[in-house]
Amino acid sequence: MLLYLNPQTPTDKYPIGRMLLKNSQTENKSSEERRLISGFAQLLDHPVEEVRQLAEDIAFYAYFSTYDQNTSNSFFHLVPSEYRKQYDLALKASL
């Protein structure tokens, strides 16, 4: 999963860092997406707290960077469904 993400440092054009993907989400095969979702789940369930926190931070970024909109660099759909529900509930509670 971590090899799929390509962090970008801030530039004049993009003053806030962003995350690009190795492939556009539209180029992924379903088998590759299942493998990425499984990898994300392993990070979220990792025995080391720092790894779990990194995975949670990445899921947070994935959600709030695109609000689960279907764009070429969105990847919230790769967050396992049990974790995606947390964001759906938080959004409903804020409305």
Convert the pLDDT of each residue in 53-89 to its tens digit: 999 998 888 888 877 777 777 888 889 988 888 777 7
Q: What angle do CA 27, 7, 39 make, to 5 degrees?
A: 60
The β-bridge partners of 6 are: 20
- pTM check: above 0.85: no
Question: Which residues, 6 or more positions from 59, have their beta carbon under 8 angstroms from its beta carbon?
Answer: 40, 44, 76, 79, 83, 87
Q: Which of 94, 59, 89 is nearest to 77 (CA)?
A: 59
pLDDT at 94 over 70: no
